Amino acid sequence: MAQGGARRRAAALVRLLAPGRSAAAQQEAAQALARLCCRNIGNKDYVRECGGIAALVRLLEPSGSAAVHEHAAAALANLCCASMKNKDSVRECGGIPALLALLAPGSSGAVQQVAAMALANLCCDSMKNHDSVRECGGIPALLGLLAPGSSGAVQQPAAMALANLSAGSGQNKDSVRECGGAPVLIALLAPGHSATVHAIAASALRSLCRSNPQNRNSIGQCGGVAALVGLLAPSGSAAVCEQAATALASLCWDNVKNQDSVRECGGVPVLLGLLAPGTGAAVQRYAASALANVCCSNVQNQDCIRECGGVSALVGLLARGVSPAVSKNAATALMNLCARHAKNQVCVVECGGRAALIRLQTSSSSLGKEAAAKALHNLRTEV
């Protein structure tokens, strides 16, 4: 559709949302606006400039029908995706409390689903919306959608909203913990949930424990390590393995209890299995990162990784010429394995690790050079 035609179309549809129009006309117009602005930044701007966001927020009033609520919330979800101006506009028009009201137990699953998705998009990379959703009581409302018996279609966007709310917001991380969010999210990792729910819940747990020692402790105490290890399988979903491995990496950062828990529940050989040839680069990258954090300043885990064949597996990654991001994490893992550990230093040399690290240090990519230099330093360090 040409630029002028799209703008006229947006203006005509926004007029159909006005008070006094029939519910059927409003519903159809909202549905058409959702389609018009899906993956189209220009059309998202046109709808906002025509007053469409304020008009859609008005349709969320309690007196509206469920069908109108559903399609208006869906349009807002699309409008807010990748558009900071629209995210700000929804907040300024009072859209956050209006969307949160749609999460109430009396709403249909379809309405709860699109309202949660709209909130997830609103909170993505927007600190002002992070604060607003928390201040309006959004965290307990979203956690309520994750209760046993809720459909996966509702749980997915609710968990995504919590992941986005927790990313970069210390207050929201604390609030999720204080509202009992750790065990609720861990429960979504259990068998019986879809792979998509598993991946999103693992992502939320990762967001919660980054730069938050209290949440790392809480998630570990609630059985989060074992639940995440249970998701790791070379034959499983790559997205699930990626999110579970990176969540474990975050959980084990500067946390000896969680490091020990990974070893005790059999996580070391499982993570090493994800380094095998044929595994996707992203899975290898996050598995290597998890192993690096699992063995950092932990002698028992340094021993365990060596005894499970981890040194040769990590050196093998470097020898295969994997991506710079994978190489960096593999070198970091070798660095931590060799730190003040004579047996591992000897094992790395015997497996050809010194030569592989020298190649990485002198490669054209800058990403792994520092990690390789530090690993080589640890190889030369006397214990």
- The first and second tokens of residue 185, run together, are 């999210």
pLDDT value at position 1?
Answer: 52
Q: What is the mean pLDDT of residues 290-319?
A: 97
Neighbours of 277 (CB within 10 A): 9
Q: What is the residue-averaged pLDDT of the chain?
A: 96
* Mean pLDDT of the region 127-136: 98
Same fold, 153-255 and 295-383: yes
Decide: 116 and 85 in contact? Cβ < 8 Å. no
pLDDT of 181-217, one tens digit each?
999 999 999 999 999 999 999 999 999 999 999 999 9
pLDDT at 322: 84
CATH architecture for residues 1-97+112-121: Alpha Horseshoe (1.25)
Chain segment 64-110, per-residue pLDDT in tens:
999 999 999 999 999 999 999 999 999 999 999 999 999 999 999 99
| 126-152: burial string, b at 16+ Cβ within 10 Å, e else | beebbbbbbeeebbebbbbbbeeeeee
**CATH level 3 topology of 153-255:** Leucine-rich Repeat Variant (1.25.10)
What pLDDT was estimated at residue 380?
A: 81
Instruction: Decide: 63 and 100 in contact? Cβ < 8 Å.
Output: no
Q: How many CB atoms lie within 10 A of CB 278?
A: 6
For 295-383, CATH number? 1.25.10.10
C-alpha triplet 22, 24, 25: angle, nearest 5°: 65
* Signed CA dihedral, 241, 232, 154, 173: sign only: negative
Mean pLDDT across 304-314: 98
Closest listed residue to residue 159, CA positions, set 225, 204, 215: 204
Segments making up each domain of the chain, as ranges:
1-97+112-121, 153-255, 295-383
Residues 45/85, Cβ–Cβ less than 8 Å: yes
Task: Please compute the mean of the pLDDT values over residues 36-49 and round it to a whole number.
Answer: 96
Q: In this predicted structure, what is the pLDDT of residue 233?
A: 87
Residue 117's contacts (CB-CB under 8 Å, 6 or more residues apart) are: 73, 74, 77, 157, 160, 161
pLDDT score recorded for residue 13: 98
Q: What percent of the chain has pLDDT over 70?
A: 98
